[in-house]
């Protein structure tokens, strides 16, 4: 595991070399024309470090061009350190904590930096879960307050709603913020994210009716009757995904405390990322950091794009 005193977290040249090795494992790629391995390092007295020039299109570029770090005034070594801290913190790390630890000039800088890193944790492409007849658990959880909805004594209508899927064979967890927990809302999402040959496991909530029409099988555990594991077949349960919800809620309530709905999808992606690449799936803190850093490529995030 990389120590926080590692040069990539304290020295800009070491950080840049580390990032270049991760972004260009097979040779430098010009982001302008796509040429591989045909560029040269510019070494003029007034040239900023890490600036290359493509010999084909003659345009200059750096390793951070086209990434979440592009045009950032924050040193790259602090980006790498913040990423390491966020992927290593099981329940998350607040922007206030990053602000204090990294010595930023303002809280807003740390806040926006954290959102860029969360965006880097969002998968660029997704494959259907449960392929080759795998088992996928599906459940929903509720958190915070739905904007414009009055709180009631019972029910979850006033809560923000998160639908989650978990592939038992790979350990991948995938979540999305939804407006309603209904058959009409959920069915298209499940069909788009789960392979047809998958075996679906849910509780006995009404929104999961008729799911057997879309997948190889659909088994339920009758939570309404107080049953959480099928006695005849102990593999039929949704305890795995419900356990992941406990980590998510502890982090959201204990670390982040409040989140507007317009940003919830990024916090959900952060917790999904750490869960999908946890030790049980063969990943450690350094592996997660590498994946998050590589995920920054193609993830420009402007201030005006802070909400979807």
pLDDT of residue 299: 86
Q: Cβ(79)–Cβ(9) under 8 Å?
A: no
Within 10 angstroms of residue 233's Cβ, the number of other Cβ atoms is: 9
Residue 159 has pLDDT above 70, yes or no: yes
| Segment 165-180 mean pLDDT | 96
Nearest to 112 by CA among 76, 142, 74, 141: 74
Q: What is the pLDDT of residues 59-96, one digit of tens each?
A: 999 999 999 999 999 999 999 999 999 999 999 999 99
pLDDT of residue 300: 79
The listed CATH number (3.40.50.920, 3.40.50.2000, 3.30.420.10, 3.40.50.1260) that belongs to domain 135-259: 3.30.420.10
pLDDT of residue 4: 86
Using the 8-state DSSP alphabet, how is residue 256 labeled?
I
Q: Cβ(8)–Cβ(18) under 8 Å?
A: yes
Separation of alpha carbons 291 and 83, rounded Å: 10
Q: What is the pLDDT of residues 105-155, one digit of tens each?
A: 999 999 999 999 999 999 988 899 999 999 999 999 999 999 988 887 778
* CA separation, residue 280 to residues 169, 275, 277 (Å): 11, 9, 8
pLDDT of residue 1: 60
Kindly list the domain boundaries of the chain, sorted by start residue.
Answer: 135-259
Helices 285-295 and 76-88 pack at an angle, to 10 degrees, of: 130
The pTM of the full predicted model, rounded to 2 decimals, is: 0.92
């Amino acid at each position: 595991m990389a120590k926080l005193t590692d040069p990539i977290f304290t020295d800009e040249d070491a950080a840049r070399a580390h990032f270049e090795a991760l972004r260009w494992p097979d040779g430098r790629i010009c982001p302008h024309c796509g040429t591989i391995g045909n560029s040269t390092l510019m070494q003029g007295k007034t040239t900023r470090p890490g600036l290359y020039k493509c010999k084909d299109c003659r345009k200059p570029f750096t390793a951070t061009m086209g990434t979440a770090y592009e045009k950032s005034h924050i040193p790259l070594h602090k980006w790498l350190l913040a990423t390491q801290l966020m992927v290593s913190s099981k329940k998350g790390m607040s922007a206030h904590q990053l602000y204090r630890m990294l010595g930023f000039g303002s809280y807003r800088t740390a806040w926006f930096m954290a959102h860029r890193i969360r965006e880097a944790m969002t998968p660029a492409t997704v494959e259907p879960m449960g392929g080759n007849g795998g088992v996928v658990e599906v459940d929903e959880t509720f958190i915070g307050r739905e904007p414009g909805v009055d709180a009631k004594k019972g029910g979850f209508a006033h809560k923000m709603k998160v639908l989650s899927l978990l592939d038992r064979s790979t350990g991948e967890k995938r979540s999305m913020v939804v407006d309603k927990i209904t058959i009409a809302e959920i069915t298209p999402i499940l069909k788009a994210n789960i392979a047809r040959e998958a075996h679906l496991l849910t509780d006995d909530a009404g929104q999961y009716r008729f799911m057997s029409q879309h997948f190889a099988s659909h088994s339920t555990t009758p939570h309404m009757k107080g049953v959480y594991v099928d006695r005849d077949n102990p593999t039929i349960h949704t305890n795995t995904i419900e356990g992941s919800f406990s980590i998510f809620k502890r982090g959201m309530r204990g670390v982040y405390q409040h989140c507007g709905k317009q940003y919830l999808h990024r916090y959900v992606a952060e917790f999904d990322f750490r869960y999908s690449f946890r030790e049980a799936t063969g990943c450690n803190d350094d592996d997660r950091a590498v994946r998050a850093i590589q995920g920054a490529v193609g993830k420009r995030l402007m201030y005006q794009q802070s909400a979807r």
